[in-house]
Structure formats: C-alpha cells, structure tokens
Amino acid sequence: MVALAVKNWQGEASGEATLELAVARPETASHILHRAVVRQLAHARQGTASTKTRAEVSGGGRKPWRQKGTGRARAGSIRSPLWRGGGVIFGPKPRDYEQKMNRKERRLALRTALMSRAEQTIVVEDFADQLPRPKTKEMVQALRRWGVHPEQKVLLIVPEIAETVGLSVRNLPWVTLLRADQLNVWDILHADTLVVTVGALQKIQEVYGDGSHDDAQTPAE
C-alpha cells in the first residue's frame, strides 16, 4: 500500500489517499511490462505498407532483346528487380502486427506500471467544478500549483472527462488526458508525472484492484 498526499485546487495539502494494487513479482515485473509495451506499440501499427513484386508491376511481357549476340547481359523482362521501375525484392506487404497477451497478464502489467510510478504521482481533488468554462491558462496554472514542472510530459487521469476539462487541456501537447477505466501501460510509463484525481483513484481501485485471480504477483507494499 502507498500513501499519497492529496492537494486541492490551490495546491494546498487537504488530506491523504492510498493506492493498493497487486503487482508482479520483482523477477518478472520488467518482463511483463516489456511485453505489454511492445504489444501496445505493435497494435498501433497500421500494417498497410505494400510494394509490388515483378509479377505485379505492369508491362515487361516482352523480352527486351534477344538472348545472344548483342554483347549485353541477358534479360527477360524490363520489370526485373534489377531494372529501374521493376519489382521490389522482399518488400513489405500488408500484415497484421497483433500480438496476443492474456487478459490477466495485461491487467497485471497495468497494475505494476501504476505502482511503479507512485513516487511520480500527484493526487488532487476533483476539479471539474473549478472550470465553469474552458480555460487553458487556468489549467496550466493549476498544474504548476500542484508541482508539475513546465513542459513535463503529464498524464492526467480523471473518472470522467468533463467537457470543460477536455477543452482546457486539448491545446497542451505535453498533457495526455485519460479516463481511469481506459488506462494503458505505455502512457503510464511514458509520462514524467501522473496527476490523478481522488475520484479517478477510487475508480482505479474498483476496476483494477482485484488481482486475486492473477498469477505471478505479490501484494504491493
């Protein structure tokens, strides 16, 4: 279990929250996190790159010149991979980059990633009502009051994305906004700082907290 201080909208300490998630064993943690990240990045690939082989390039049905007597190398088609405009040898073809990973392993990797970033996690009170209208400047000022350094990569986790909050952070390229039930390992590990609201922390415990059926784990200390 990890105890985290809670800050209000003004950046003042207002209480304490706890995060307790079952994580992978130390000897397997890095392996399962690596698998989860590689899987996520692989799934982001479109797999639509395609080149034409010599059989697919148009033209080249006629032999360019006779086999012997010209003094030139023998050639059977102007669409040979050796020719400009010819086919491509071993070029990419459309493919599926999907990698399989058990649901239990995915959830275990997510919990392990969250607990590993506890020291870089800032817990704040729910602040959607503090933004009656979208205001990026106010959002930036609040992040600074919470201790986020300018231009740090920030993962902002909320229980539900209010319209004013979403509009206030959408022009900040260094802030990623996610709902608590839509987390992923890459964004958690890629961010410099995690800013989590109290409501999001409770939702994380509800959605990901039960690890009693996962393998290769120990309770977080």
Mean pLDDT within 167-192: 95
Closest to 196 measured CA to CA, from 117, 92, 90, 80: 117
What is the spatial distance between Cα 51 and Cα 127, in angstroms, rounded to a whole number?
51
The owner of tokens 């064993």 is 25
**Amino acid letter for position 14:** S
Q: Sign of the C-alpha dihedral, residues 22, 24, 30, 34? A: negative
Q: What is the mean pLDDT of residues 21-48?
A: 95
- Three-state DSSP at 128 gives helix
Contact criterion met (CB below 8 Å) for 56 and 87: yes
| pLDDT tier at 143, thresholds 50, 70, 90 | very high
Identify the DSSP state of 208.
H
In this prediction, residues 36-60 reach a mean pLDDT of: 95
Residue 134: pLDDT over 60: yes
Q: Are 46 and 163 in contact (CB under 8 A)?
A: no
Model pLDDT, residue 49:
96
For residue 137, what are the contacts with CB-CB under 8 A and spacing of at least 6?
Answer: none
Q: What is the DSSP letter of 68?
A: S
Domains and CATH numbers, the chain: 2-44+102-219 (3.40.1370.10), 46-96 (no CATH)
Give the number of other Cβ atoms within 10 Å of residue 63's Cβ: 12
Please choose, from the candidates 158, 150, 195, the residue with its C-alpha nearest in 3D space to the C-alpha of residue 179.
158
